[in-house]
Amino acid sequence: MTGVSLQSVAVGYDGEAVLESVTASAREGAITVVAGANAAGKSTLLRVLAGLAAPMRGTVRWIGGIGGGHSIEPAGLSPRRRAQRSAFLPQRIRLPAGFSVFEVVAMGRHALPPSRSRIESALERFALVSLQDRAVHTLSVGQQQRVGLARVAAQHEAGGLLILDEPFAPLDLRELHRAADWLRAVAAAGATVVLSVHDLGLASRLANEVWLLADRRLEAAGPAGEVLARSRLERMFGAEAIDLALGGVPPAEARLPEAR
């Protein structure tokens, strides 16, 4: 199993920090959601967490892991070794044109032993069996997102680390439910799951723990019910925005202007 620890981490680009002094941890068997406004640094933090970039300051460590109990800094690993212990889904999926759905999902096994059964299971999990021979560039955005999720599912080894950047954004409600159920299942089996989510209502229902980013720092980290306290969210986003996020859209008649 692989947990994650960040200690006084600063992340950014071209020498300019977008986040400072982030100290937090994500534990095995739990779903940790990274939340915050646009440009709060969520994607940058997840890339550093995945070892795709090094922090400007501080340390990121993967603790434990498949086959060992040591801790390592992921940015120091080769791409192949990172892929054996973790699976990363970027916010903007770049699927190679000319390849079939089956071939793209099979790419999730490139650093791991071949397993047709794992590929077929991932295709079935995300309702892609009927599309497996289609070229990925002919699919809709939502279907392509499911291919990306299936590729990550084929790659993920029990007890490993999953890092997903806005995985639900292009999905319809049925597919969102399917993806959320999968994340709950892999977490229950011992995985460490870290993902970014814009929808605070969804975050409150899915997350065990939340890292909330604001003003170039970690505003709060801990159990979802504590971090997503209404008073804190209203201070950050405004009461009306939080009513919409947590309470849903009001009935149409409640939004009609008064007759003149």
**Domain-embedded: residue 251:** no
The pLDDT value given to residue 246: 74
**Domain-embedded: residue 237:** yes
**Domain-embedded: residue 209:** yes
Structural domains of the chain, count: 1
**Domain-embedded: residue 63:** yes
The residue ranges of the chain whose pLDDT is under 50 are 66-68, 249-260
**Domain-embedded: residue 180:** yes
The pLDDT value given to residue 258: 43
**Domain-embedded: residue 235:** yes
CATH of the domain at 169: 3.40.50.300
Distance of alpha carbon 129 from alpha carbon 121, whole angstroms: 9
Q: Own/partner pairs for 117-126, CB < 8 Å, 24+ apart?
A: 118/154, 119/154, 121/153, 121/154, 122/150, 122/151, 122/153, 122/154, 123/150, 125/150, 125/153, 125/178, 125/182, 126/150, 126/153, 126/175, 126/178, 126/179, 126/182
Q: Which domain holds residue 202?
A: 2-92+158-245
**Domain-embedded: residue 103:** no
The pLDDT value given to residue 238: 85
The pLDDT value given to residue 56: 94
**Domain-embedded: residue 168:** yes
